[in-house]
Copies of this chain bind each other. A is one copy, B any other.
Amino acid sequence: MNIGDVAAKSGVPSKTIRYYEDIGLVKPARSANGYRAFRDSDVHKLTFLGRARALGFSIEDCRALLGLYEDESRASAEVKAIAQHQIEQIDRKIADLRRMRDTLAELVSRCAGDDRPDCPILESLGPGGKV
A interface residues (Cβ-Cβ under 8 A, vs B)? 43-44, 47-48, 51-52, 54-56, 65, 68-69, 71-77, 79-81, 83-84, 86-87, 90-91, 93-94, 97-98, 100-101, 103-105, 107-108, 111-119, 121-122, 124-127, 129, 131
Stoichiometry, as copies per complex, reads: 2
Contact at B125–A101, with CB atoms within 8 Å?
no
Q: Of B44, B94, B117, B131, which one neighbours A72 at CB under 8 angstroms?
A: B117
Contact at B86–A55, with CB atoms within 8 Å?
no
Which residue from chain B places its CB closest to the CB of A93 in the assembled complex? B97
Contact at A76–B108, with CB atoms within 8 Å?
no
Contact at A80–B51, with CB atoms within 8 Å?
no
User: For residue A107, which residues in chain B have a CB less than 8 angstroms away from its CB?
Assistant: 83
